[in-house]
Amino acid sequence: METQTESDLLDSLFLIPREPVKQFLKTLLHLVYSVEVTGLENIPETGGAVLISNHTDNLDVIVQGTSVLRKVIYLGKYELFHPQETVLELLENPNSPLNFFPLSLMKQTLVAALNTLGDLQGKQLSHWGGHPILRAHNVTDAKSAAVYYENLENYIVDLIRKGELISIYPQGTRVENVSPGSFKALSAKLAIRAGVPIIPSAIKGAWKMMKPEAFLTGKAFGSKITYNIGKPIYPDQFPKEPLKKAAKIVTEELENRVRKLIEFPES
């Protein structure tokens, strides 16, 4: 049986290190755009925390992930970390050609190869800062959906309590501006439950800057992008109210802080 040491050795041989990739992306980012970052001192050096930001473009993840000195954890779909499972389900279908001779002779080899490649992708994403969320099995009605989201919330809280810095975009979708009431309360709820700081931050100038038109027109090159990180709201500053009400109050405060950070970074 493969020992943990042997597994770690294999990972070190095949996984692409995080830091060189981060530095490469950061260099490329600053070559294309004019990026300005403020408030890095507001990120705790250690310990669990929730980092929130407005969400304008896919570029936000690169700006944030390459700017923050700590490893930032991004939650992703389970399927991204286990891509082979969807294909394997098709292969296991009784009508799959691989269940019939002569293709059946190569089925075992193909399954093993898919599992190896899928596991490698999952480990690589995790190594770079990705983390899979719980898979939604048999979520077919309101009751099962409620159970799933409760389990998912508990899962993320446990992850934060283990000391991870989790990035969440409380708007849930990409939009250019932050409007009142556009933040969902989940990020505040997670921080309150985990008893960790929640840090507001704001990105400005990245809206549609990864679109082909931005490069074809030359608009992307030298375009100014700012990423401003504000002062955390610490657990002792959370409202002494029931969880739902406290999360709503904190969320409204976060919205106000993010809007201010978009225009006026904190000194």
Q: What is the pLDDT along the chain (267 residues), one digit of tens a residue?
A: 445 554 555 555 677 787 888 898 899 999 999 999 999 999 999 999 999 999 888 899 899 999 999 989 888 666 666 666 777 777 777 777 777 777 676 777 777 777 777 666 656 556 556 666 766 666 667 777 788 778 888 988 999 999 999 999 998 777 777 766 689 999 999 999 999 999 999 999 988 888 889 888 999 999 999 999 999 999 999 999 999 999 999 999 999 999 999 887 665
CA distance 258 to 178: 8
pTM exceeds cut of 0.85? no
Can you give the three-state secondary structure of the chain, one letter per residue? CCCHHHHHHHHHHHCCCHHHHHHHHHHHHHHHCEEEEECHHHCCCCCCEEEEECCCCCHHHHHHHHHCCCCEEEEECHHHHCCHHHHHHHHCCCCCHHHCCCHHHHHHHHHHHHHHHHHHHHHHHHHHCEEECCCCCCCCCHHHHHHHHHHHHHHHHHHHHCCCEEEECCCCCCCCCCCCCCCCCHHHHHHHHHCCCEEEEEEECCCCCCCHHHHHCCCCCCCEEEEEECCCECHHHCCCCCHHHHHHHHHHHHHHHHHHHHHCCCC
Q: What is the pLDDT of residue 266?
A: 62
Q: What is the pLDDT of residue 129?
A: 60
Q: What is the pLDDT of residue 190?
A: 96
Q: What is the pLDDT of residue 78?
A: 62
